[in-house]
Amino acid sequence: MEAGAEAVAEAARVVKMGGVVAIPTDTVYGLGCDPSSDDAVGRLFEAKDRQAKPVPLLCADAGVAERLVSFNETAKRLAAHHWPGALTIVAPKGPDVRLSGLLDQGSGSLGVRVPDSEVCRALAKAVGGSITGTSANLSGRPSCRTAAEVEESLDGRIQLVIDGGTLRGKESTVVRVSGAAVEVLREGSVRIKEGDLE
């Protein structure tokens, strides 16, 4: 289904019913489902043949992200420099956050980002503020840059694919913030520079 308001509305309907959809992010195609539902996240794991591994969230805006995780000043500075954009920040889960325990796999931390994609942000907003954002491919396979690649990789395993054209294909950079320390867990589209922390 071609990206646009109609596709976002249909994807939101599927997600609210517990389904899994593929969405064009600002990096690669991602898999979106309701992050508060164990059943939905379980379906996402099943679709990807994914083993126990944390799942990041895409957020409608920085305010949503800061309600999901505890952001210190370092995390806030990174977000201000790079959001919307391809930086995932891993931080401690907020104390009153009600999300599926499958997302953090007992680690107590969540990866969050605000993508530079109107489709993603609109869908996240339509379903309550956030949506899962793991890559739309079978585990261990390359990330998908086109809707056709998603359909080939996950044939029949998900309910909807939003076609946003060919994406740049480089995943987000993932960092863990602990105090003033920033640990790069995955090198990706964004490079962290010293000035980002000032």
**Helical residues (DSSP H) of 88-176, grouped into ranges:** 118-126, 147-153
State the CB neighbour count (10 A cutoff) for residue 94.
15
Strands 57-59 and 21-24: what pairing? unpaired
Q: Determine the pLDDT at residue 96.
A: 85
Residues in the chain: 198
Q: Determine the pLDDT at residue 195.
A: 64
- Read off the pLDDT of each residue in 150-162 and give the average, rounded to a whole number: 94
- Read off the pLDDT of each residue in 78-107 and give the average, rounded to a whole number: 93
Domains of the chain: 5-197 (3.90.870.10)
- Read off the pLDDT of each residue in 125-135 and give the average, rounded to a whole number: 96
Q: Whole-angstrom Cα distance, residue 59 to residue 133?
A: 9
> What string of DSSP letters covers 23-84?
EE-SSSEEEE--TT-HHHHHHHHHHHT--S----EEESSHHHHHHHB---HHHHHHHHHH-S
Tokens of 120: 């993603």
Give the E-state strand segments of the chain in sequence order: 21-24, 29-32, 57-59, 87-92, 109-113, 130-132, 134-135, 160-161, 173-178, 181-186
Q: Determine the pLDDT at residue 178.
A: 86
- Read off the pLDDT of each residue in 171-198 and give the average, rounded to a whole number: 86
Give the E-state strand segments of 4-147 in sequence order: 21-24, 29-32, 57-59, 87-92, 109-113, 130-132, 134-135
110: which DSSP letter? E
pTM across the whole model: 0.94
Q: Is the pLDDT of residue 196 over 80?
A: no
Contacts of 140 (CB under 8 A, 6+ apart): none
pLDDT digits (tens, 9 = 90+) for 20-58: 999 999 999 999 999 999 999 999 999 999 877 899 999
- Read off the pLDDT of each residue in 159-167 and give the average, rounded to a whole number: 95
What's the N-to-C CA distance of the chain in angstroms? 42
Which has more confidence, 88 or 50?
88
Summary mean pLDDT of the chain? 93
Closest CA to 107 of 33, 40, 185, 167: 185
Q: Determine the pLDDT at residue 172.
A: 94
Q: Whole-angstrom Cα distance, residue 174 to residue 171?
A: 9
Q: Is the pLDDT of residue 183 over 80?
A: yes
Q: Is the pLDDT of residue 180 over 70?
A: yes
Q: Is the pLDDT of residue 82 over 70?
A: yes
Burial of 51 by CB count in 10 Å (0-12 exposed, 13-18 middle, 19+ buried)?
exposed
Q: Is the pLDDT of residue 121 over 90?
A: yes
